[in-house]
Amino acid sequence: MYVILFYDIADRSMKEKDNSRSIRKAVEKYLPRVQYSVFEGEIRPSDLKKLKAKLKKECEHDLDSIVIYEFDKPSYTRREVIGIDKNEPLFS
């Protein structure tokens, strides 16, 4: 399964607990970062389920926004990068 995930986490001054680090770490465990708050890549359905559970727990639902696009096959998408591609594989 191929996933594109991005988030917008409210500023820590707006809430009691700063959850940005825990959300970032949870996502980085499963997906490579392509921009500051944008991640994309292959993920097993079981890992996506775990990731979603963690994000639902950590998210301040009235302040934060996490968007996940799921694709059964990356061949159904078209990807164009202008500039540096931060999602190129490190090893070929």
From 3.40.1800.10, 3.40.50.10140, 3.30.2310.20, 3.30.70.240, which CATH number describes the 2-76 domain? 3.30.70.240
**For residue 88, what pLDDT is reported?**
61
Domain edges within the chain: 2-76
Question: Is 47 assigned a ligand-binding role in the annotation?
Answer: no
| pLDDT > 70? residue 41 | yes
Q: Give the mean pLDDT of the chain.
A: 86
pTM reported for the whole predicted model: 0.81
State phi, psi for 61 to the nearest 5 degrees: -60, -25
**For residue 26, what pLDDT is reported?**
96
**For residue 90, what pLDDT is reported?**
41
State phi, psi for 21 to the nearest 5 degrees: -65, -45
